[in-house]
Amino acid sequence: MRTPIIAGNWKLNNTISEAVALTTELKGSVTDCTGVEIIVAPTFTALHAVSDVLKGSNVRLAAQDVYWEDSGAFTGEVSAPMLKDIGCDYVIIGHSERRQYFGETNESVNQKVKAALSHDLKPIICVGEQLEDREAGRTETIIEDHITGGIADLSDAELLSSVVAYEPVWAIGTGKTATPAQAQEVHSLIRKLLTDAYSDEVASQIRIQYGGSVKPENAAELMAQPDVDGALVGGASLQAESFAEIVKSTL
């Protein structure tokens, strides 16, 4: 049985005080939610304050990116041991916005995934096709490329500590959600790719989140799909109430 996992990706939003207010409200709204893993991913600058607010709660902390070296002359970067030190359990890696605007590639995703895992940080590895890929019938090829490239050379145990997030780029921030059937089709493809690369036993345990315009209104239907194990939520995670409703859609 896979425990559902709902993560809020706050992207480039919230000052420290706004992040603390949102976290405090959210923490209060989900105290009774058991049997679901709940995660928030603030900006680097708010991680410390949010980590303090989350102490003793059932909400876990994630960063939105990580660098693969532990320390050294890499101006502007933040490493896995630093994120662990600040209280992160998870880190989002390879989000389409990082691929699109910041030159993230399958190779850099793979290096970051390995660095995270070696410091006991669980990676949320994002994959997903652009609209033109889907229209040209290339969805499967792109997903296979992201999965085999981003997840290369992980042990069974490392893969089991990872989460995959399927986020069709055309559904991110656009209000256009993939239909539950479209999401299920790609989630089951991802599980098949992992079965081929690892084993049925490993693939059946890994959690695959859907992301792209998830809202309280569409969450339950998406979560009801057999291979959809949770959600990576952008816009709707910036309001405690809507994020809490999405969390509760898994219960």
Q: Using an 8 Å Cβ cutoff, are 164 and 186 in contact?
A: no
116 is an interface residue for ligand PGA by CB under 6 A: no
Tell me how many residues contact ligand PGA (CB under 6 A).
13
234 is an interface residue for ligand PGA by CB under 6 A: yes
Q: If DSSP codes are grouped into helix, strand and coil, which group holds residue 240?
A: helix
Residue in 74, 141, 173, 241 binding ligand PGA, rule: CB under 6 A: 173
Pick the closer one to ligand PGA by CB: 198 or 222.
222
182-201 positions binding ligand PGA, by CB under 6 A: none
Alpha helices in the chain (DSSP H): 16-29, 44-54, 80-86, 96-101, 106-118, 131-135, 139-150, 156-160, 180-197, 200-203, 216-223, 240-248
Q: Which residue has the tokens 């030190």?
A: 85
195 Cβ contact list (under 8 Å, min separation 6)? 202, 203, 204
Residue of 95, 97, 104, 146 marked catalytic: 95
219 is an interface residue for ligand PGA by CB under 6 A: no
180 Cβ contact list (under 8 Å, min separation 6)? 221, 222, 224, 225, 228
Count CB-CB contacts under 10 A for residue 154.
21
65 is an interface residue for ligand PGA by CB under 6 A: no
Q: How far apart are CB 88 and ligand PGA at their closest, in Å?
A: 17
235 is an interface residue for ligand PGA by CB under 6 A: yes
30 is an interface residue for ligand PGA by CB under 6 A: no
104 is an interface residue for ligand PGA by CB under 6 A: no
The catalytic site residues sit at 95, 167
The residues that touch ligand PGA, with contacts defined as CB under 6 A, are 9, 167, 172-173, 211-214, 232-236
